[in-house]
Amino acid sequence: MSVRGPIAVEARLVTLFSYYRDAELRGATLLLKLLQRMDDADAQVKLTKHLEEEVHHAWLWTKRITDLGGVPEQIDDGYQRRIGHEVGIPRTLEQLLALTIVVEERALTRYLTHLATAGVDDETRTVLHDVTKDEKWHLSWIEHKLRELAGPDGDVRVSALLTRYRDVDRRVFADLERKERETFGFSLADATAS
């Protein structure tokens, strides 16, 4: 990767972090939908905590952007929007929970990939560690809740739903990686593939 100076690097980071911020905000929107549809007391508590963390993640990326001297960019074609177009409107709690699992898996994988790249500055590394820690808990509790709601007879149905959403995720993310290469001249996935 050739860098033309700190300004070029910071502009790229502002764009990249704006994508991260957008995904966290849209994830929060998905959680609000779940909060409105689930009357399970345990789920209400966990969803509220999860929502708080998603909004906090968006704030961490917003702060990181402003610390770089930038402002958050409007993202019209980010991961969440793209996967939503592919999947359509989830109609059941199982679909909403399964979609949440898949987008949380993608966030965790993306943040871990970013952490594994060379040259991550200390401030960004701190944000990546903070959000990664939370994503692991998000995945754990949502998957447990999905399996609980589906019951013992729902295993095949849930597995098929997750497989379908993961297939969509791979297509959507491959397209975003192509866009990342066009925009930045590289992809984080390329930097860790060696």
Give domain status of residue 132, yes or no.
Answer: yes
Give domain status of residue 145, yes or no.
Answer: yes
Cα gap 114→121, rounded to integer Å: 11
Residue 194 predicted with pLDDT over 50: no
Running DSSP on this structure, what letter comes out for residue 153?
A: G
CA distances from 166 to 5, 124, 162, 179, 190 (A): 38, 28, 6, 20, 21
The pLDDT value recorded for residue 5 is: 42
Number of independent structural domains in the chain? 1
Residue carrying structure tokens 């979609």: 99
The pLDDT value recorded for residue 189 is: 67
- Residues 108-152: tens digit of each pLDDT: 999 999 999 888 999 999 999 999 999 899 999 999 999 999 998
Give domain status of residue 191, yes or no.
Answer: no
Pair 43, 66: CB distance under 8 Å: no
Count the neighbouring beta carbons within 10 Å of the beta carbon of residue 74.
8
Interior/surface letters 122-149, b for 16+ CB within 10 angstroms, e for the rest: eebeebbeebbebbeebbeebbebbeeb
Residue 88 predicted with pLDDT over 80: yes
Domain that holds residue 85: 6-186
Overall average pLDDT of the 20-34 stretch: 92
Instruction: Work out the mean pLDDT of the chain and round it to a whole number.
Output: 89
The pLDDT value recorded for residue 191 is: 59
Count the neighbouring beta carbons within 10 Å of the beta carbon of residue 96.
20
pTM of the entire predicted model? 0.87
The pLDDT value recorded for residue 30 is: 86
Give domain status of residue 109, yes or no.
Answer: yes
Overall average pLDDT of the 23-49 stretch: 92
Residue 8 predicted with pLDDT over 80: no
Give domain status of residue 89, yes or no.
Answer: yes
Residue 24's CATH number? 1.20.1260.10
Cα gap 88→81, rounded to integer Å: 10
Give domain status of residue 193, yes or no.
Answer: no
